[in-house]
Amino acid sequence: MTWPIRFNETGVVRQDKWQRISGSFSGAGATLSATIAAMLANGLDVPEAVFEAQEFTVAALANAQRLGMGKLVPDRYFWAREPDVKQ
């Protein structure tokens, strides 16, 4: 697990906890940084933009796909897909 801790002049502001997803990924950092930039461009404050981007990146990694024999690639469109219907 990772525990990013946010501080200000009065002390701890917030501590976020994320479960580490095992695997070797290609594009996880790019997904995170692009999502932070998008959230900032949409007017979110930095702490909230980072939190939302981390949440999105974790979900994209949880839905990652292996293309060929390489590393897992984050599925950045997981939210737009219809859930699999099990019969």
pLDDT at residue 2 tops 60: no
Q: pLDDT digits over 7-50, tens only?
A: 778 877 777 777 888 889 999 999 999 999 999 999 999 889 98
- The pair of three-digit structure tokens given for residue 13, joined into one six-digit string: 């502001």
Domain boundaries of the chain, sorted by first residue: 24-68
User: What predicted TM-score, i.e. pTM, was given to this entire model?
Assistant: 0.77
**Closest Cα partner for 2 from 70, 44, 61?**
61
Task: Output the pLDDT for position 6.
Answer: 64
Task: Output the pLDDT for position 1.
Answer: 44
Cα–Cα distance for residue pair 25/22, rounded to 1 Å:
9
Cα–Cα distance for residue pair 13/7, rounded to 1 Å:
5
